Amino acid sequence: MRKVSAFVPAHISGFFQVCDEPLELERRGSRNCGPCIDAGVLTKVKVEPAARTSISVHINNERAPGAKTTLAAVENLLSMVHEPLEVTVAHSCQVPIGAGYGASGAGAFGATLALSKALGLRLPRERFAAIAHVAEVTCRTGLGDVGAQALGGLVIGLEPGAPPHGRWERIRLPKDAKVVCGTFAGLPTTKLLREERFRERSKQLGGLALKKLLKKPTPQNFMKVSREFAEALELLDDELRALIEAVSEAGAIGASQVMLGRAAFALVKEEEIKQVKRAFLKFLEPSAVIVANVDRIGARLIG
């Protein structure tokens, strides 16, 4: 029996541009920008010999047969080995699922990293990211989280797709920068990504947001551009807008909507943490608010 663990940070997109034109799945994805945080998905993989191959996935100690993105990534890796195996994947999610934190991509990426180590597969790291990215795109659970999660930091997705097709760049952040986020609920990502009108609006608005950001790639401008994108995309409701305005007034570098979720996030300097968190707590229960460091390392094996 072999056991291996991996950690992949959550990733928040402040804006995104759907890029679904390429025929190759590894070239599809999105252009976007957002921070990785040190809350994410811890994945433990156990591999044992078996009479026939089987895969089981658990999320937060509960069986999760609907974890299609992780299943797709694991099946891809297992196609490279010729012995029957029993594979158990256990995800511990430190962020809400289905609310725009990149949990599905983090789970799939962590599973590929850990399983490849358990199987002794000597593949380049970029290949594991590509497998997880293709699983996300195929299952329509996300488009542009995995590349950023591989890098860490506040990441601009300059070109869509998996390595080597995608291209990413970090924006410099103050050393004491933190992220505070709060979640009301998720949004139906799969449904939205299937709607042609929604995709087309994201292409137009996301492309404009990226152009504005690249003219001045700073944390402050990223938050400004993200807020403009959120307003124009028309997913903000009155309660979420009121939260974002309260957080902005509390001293955050900036605040906007988590894409895609009924959630908000703020970039915050150390000295402003208390008042910004207090603003979140006027709208949300403590269990729905996360104060996190920016994860500057990216996906990695642990232990």
- Residue pLDDT, tens place only, 233-259: 988 999 999 999 999 999 999 999 999
CATH number at residue 162: 3.30.230.10
Q: Two tokens at 232?
A: 């124009």
Residues 277 and 257 in one domain: yes
| Percentage with pLDDT > 70 across the chain | 100
How do beta strands 254-257 and 261-268 pair? antiparallel
Residues 161 and 228 in one domain: no
Q: Do 230 and 138 touch, CB atoms closer than 8 A? A: no
Residues 163 and 26 in one domain: yes
Residues paired with residue 18 on neighbouring β-strands, in sequence order: 30
pLDDT digits (tens, 9 = 90+) for 93-122: 999 999 999 999 999 999 999 999 999 998
244: nearest Cα among 118, 97, 252? 252
Residues 164 and 193 in one domain: no
Residues 158 and 176 in one domain: no
133: nearest Cα among 122, 143, 123? 143
Alpha-carbon dihedral angle through residues 56, 57, 62, 68, given to the nearest 10 degrees = -120
CATH number at residue 266: 3.30.70.890
Categorize the per-residue pLDDT at 1 as very low, low, confident or very high, splitting at 50, 70 and 90. confident
Q: Two tokens at 115?
A: 């399983």
The 3-state secondary structure of 98-113, one letter per residue:
CCCCCHHHHHHHHHHH
pTM of the prediction?
0.95
Whole domain around residue 222: which residue ranges?
172-293
How do beta strands 85-93 and 54-59 pair? parallel
Residues 43 and 166 in one domain: yes
Residues 24 and 160 in one domain: yes
Residue 303 has pLDDT above 90, yes or no: no
The total number of structural domains in the chain stands at 2
Residues 107 and 41 in one domain: yes
Which residue type is seen at 81?
A: V
DSSP string, 41-107: EEEEEEEEE-SS-EEEEEETTEE-TT-HHHHHHHHHHHTT--S-EEEEEEEEESS-TTSSS-HHHHH
Residues 144 and 10 in one domain: yes
